[in-house]
Chain A
Amino acid sequence: KNEVEQSPQNLTAQEGEFITINCSYSVGISALHWLQQHPGGGIVSLFMLSSGKKKHGRLIATINIQEKHSSLHITASHPRDSAVYICAVSGDSGGSNYKLTFGKGTLLTVNP
Chain B
Amino acid sequence: KAGVTQTPRYLIKTRGQQVTLSCSPISGHRSVSWYQQTPGQGLQFLFEYFSETQRNKGNFPGRFSGRQFSNSRSEMNVSTLELGDSALYLCASSLELDYYEQYFGPGTRLTVT
Contact = CB atoms under 8 A, between A and B. Distances in A.
Contacts of A97: 56, 98
A31 B97 CA distance: 13
Contacts of B100: 48
Interface in A75-112: 86, 88, 90, 96-105
Nearest to B42: A104
B98 to A, nearest CB: 5
A42 interface: yes
Residue of A31, A88, A97, A100 most packed against chain B (CB within 10 A): A100
A27 interface: no
Contact of A98 (B35, B97, B103, B107): B97
Contacts of B102: 33, 45, 100
Given A48-B101, A100-B45, A42 B106 contact: yes
A86 B90 CA distance: 14
B106 A102 contact: no
A30 interface: yes
A102 B35 CA distance: 10
Contacts of A102: 42-44
Contacts of A90: 98-99
Contact residues of A: prevailing secondary structure:
strand
B88 A86 contact: no
A105 B42 contact: yes
A21 B36 CA distance: 24
B58 interface: yes
Interface string A27-38: 000110101000
A30 B99 CA distance: 7
Interface of A: 30-31, 33, 35, 41-45, 48, 50, 86, 88, 90, 96-105
8 contacts: A30-B99, A41-B109, A42-B107, A43-B104, A44-B104, A90-B98, A101-B45, A102-B43
